[in-house]
Amino acid sequence: MKLPIVAAVACATLAHAQTPTSPPSPISKDQLLANVRFLADDLLEGRGPGTRADQLARLYIATQLQAAGCKPGGAEGSWMQPVPILGITSTVGETLVAKSASGSAMFQAPNDFTAVAGNPDAAAAWADAELVFVGFGITAPEQNWDDFGSTDVKGKVLLVMNDDPADDPARFAGKTRLYYGRWSYKYEEAARRGALGAIVIHTTPSAGYPFQVIQANHGRENFWLPFAKGTPTLGIRSWVTEDVAKNLCALGGHELDELRERAKKGNQPPVPLGVKLSLTIANTVRELPSGNVVGVLPGTDPVLAAEHVVVSAHWDHLGIGKPRGDDAIYNGAVDNASGCAGMLALARACAAVPQRARSITFLAVTAEESGLLGSQFFAANPTVAKDKMVANFNVDGLNVWGKTHDIEFIGHGKNSLTALAEFVAKSRGRRIEPDSNPDLGLFYRSDHFNFARIGVPAAYFKAGKDFLDKPEDRRRMKNSYTTVQYHQPNDELAAWWNLDGAVDDLEVLLECMLRTVNDPARPRWTPGDEFEKAR
């Protein structure tokens, strides 16, 4: 039997917890829909950072947090934490040309490749730059793995695979992708090595989405936090389709599949491909204001109120971009107007609970779609001292497909929030499942990652797959979201949305939050986890 949220919280053996005298506000489907309807409307033009819609979305979220009972938690008593952002728009001047002893080939953007700036320089170029295959592009001494060895790749362009080794469960967590497998790590390591540029090989299995998602980023303004002085950067960061990667290798007399199999053996030196590349881009750079929205529900315990549970959701999406048919507005209804709606629902529900030992910070962050910039800035400049943040619950996309028996926990087993979620779900007749696609590295792809990096245990729930009603049809609809709607203009509020599952999931999340708020013991990392030392 599913217990009411407050009754379930009250039954916990929490020495410090007090039984609330009245139940929290229910999670309302109408309120969820109303918030999504506004934030994903065409009038907000896809909520691009630095636009008028940026200001409108943040103002709307702040007013809703205020209406829920929160206090401003931003700079100087405001609702906002200003986040300085650089906008860089790259234009391909000379397209990608590859030459070898056997011939040459030319590739066109964005069908074959994409190219964006990796620093704020006015221009960048590869002029007959040597192309080197570096396998996974990983240096991991603790895993006894080095794809570079003693090879100097300074001034060269690196061709790199978009994943990490998965054959040995004793290395790199087996099938579960670590940060080493993320494309962002590939670019960072290439820059540390002094490379001129890096090309990541796209495959749908390794990326988790089709190449059209990569294409959507080409030619549009990309966002960065200001570059720290002395930090190594790449002039050009590129992706290519798998077919183009095969052609580049073949041009130098190599087989991509053979190179990949060789790389999987580990500690293989880079392979010069006998190919030289030429490419130019020109960059337009501007500074633009954006920000995070911060609201706080103060705690009621005289000691624990100084500690905070942080609930995060990103408000931004991709703005106006490349048209698909006659639509150029990337509304981001699921991603992440729905997550903002969920965060606001949680704020209303928590505000109705009279006894909250710890404070709760509700954080709507900017520029998640551009590399988790808003949460990165918050983690580096927190409005709450790092050691006072006890947990992060991140909301990135709600279940819009219907009720499920299960909820997926991204980062399952990494910290004690997993056991808490399993207990709560079971008490409500549901179950927690590990990430069904651990090879995609989802733990490193949303804002909870930046909390984990500073040692704060984080939880991110994702819609389950075991649907109660018409399971095959609903699974098919859910799966089609990634291939058809993700980061596309048709991620819009639709009449077929079924938020019953979203309500159920948010109720589980709410109970997990309230238990964490009231439990004197802090969540902890699993011994040996990669983020344990950061705590």
Same domain as 521, residue 401? yes
Last residue of a domain, one of 223, 255, 285: 285
Residue 446: is it exposed, middle or buried by C-beta count within 10 angstroms (0-12/13-18/19+)? buried
pLDDT at position 21, please? 41
Task: Reply yes or no on whether the pLDDT at 291 is more than 60.
Answer: yes
**Omega before 110 cis (within 30°)?**
yes
Strands 406-410 and 431-434, bridge-based pairing: parallel
Inform me whether the pLDDT recorded for 104 exceeds 90: yes
Indicate if 406 and 372 belong to the same structural domain.
Answer: yes
Last residue of a domain, one of 285, 310, 337: 285
Cβ atoms within 10 Å, residue 82? 15
Tell me how far CA of residue 71 lies from CA of 259, 337, 362, 509, 533, in angstroms.
56, 22, 10, 22, 33
Is 105 buried (19+), middle (13-18) or exposed (0-12) by CB count in 10 A? middle
In whole angstroms, give the CA distance from residue 40 to residue 333.
5
Asked if the structure places residue 473 within a domain, the reply is: yes
CATH number for the domain that contains residue 399: 3.40.630.10
Predicted TM-score (pTM) of this structure: 0.90
Q: Are residues 307 and 209 in the same domain?
A: no
Same domain, 509 and 403: yes
Predicted local confidence at residue 366, as pLDDT:
98
Residue 448: domain span: 5-9+298-534
Q: Where a domain ends, among 285, 312, 341?
A: 285
Asked if residue 52 belongs to a domain, the reply is no
Closest CA to 513 of 297, 295, 292, 341: 297
What proportion of the chain, given as a percentage, has pLDDT over 90?
Answer: 88
Q: Is residue 504 part of a domain?
A: yes
Cis peptide before 336 (omega within 30 of 0): yes
Amino acid 25: pLDDT: 43
Do 130 and 275 sit in the same domain of this protein?
yes
Residues 385 and 507 in one domain: yes
Number of domains in the chain: 2
φ, ψ for residue 187 (rounded to 5)? -65, -40
Task: Tell me if 120 is assigned to some domain.
Answer: yes
- Contact (CB, 8 A) for 119 and 196: no
Residue 81 lies inside a defined structural domain of this protein = no
- 307 and 277 inside one domain: no
Say yes or no: 234 and 267 in one domain.
yes
Strand, coil or helix: 437: coil
Residue range 305-317: mean pLDDT, rounded: 98
**Residue 363 lies inside a defined structural domain of this protein:** yes
Q: What are phi and psi of 432, to 5 degrees?
A: -100, 135
pLDDT digits (tens, 9 = 90+) for 426-472: 999 999 999 999 988 999 999 999 999 999 999 999 999 999 999 99
Burial classification of residue 144, based on how many CB atoms lie within 10 Å of its CB (0-12 exposed, 13-18 middle, 19 or more buried): exposed
Tell me what the mean pLDDT of segment 175-204 comes to: 95
pLDDT at 81: 98
Based on the fold, state whether residues 186 and 252 are members of the same structural domain: yes
Cα(506)–Cα(512) distance, integer angstroms? 10
Task: Check whether 4 has a pLDDT greater than 80.
Answer: no
Percent of the chain that is helix, strand, coil (3-state, to 5): 35, 25, 40
The answer to whether residue 147 sits within a structural domain is: yes
Domain presence at residue 341: yes
The packing angle between helices 29-39 and 500-518, to 10°, is 100
Q: What is the mean pLDDT of residues 238-265?
A: 97
Please indicate, yes or no, whether residues 174 and 222 belong to a single structural domain of this protein: yes
pLDDT above 70 covers a percentage of the chain that reads: 95
Give me the CATH number covering residue 234: 3.50.30.30
Co-location of 260 and 308 in the same domain = no
- Please say if the pLDDT value at position 17 is more than 50: no
Give me the pLDDT at residue 24, please: 45
Look at residue 279 and tell me whether its pLDDT is greater than 90.
yes
Do residue 310 and residue 273 come from a single domain? no
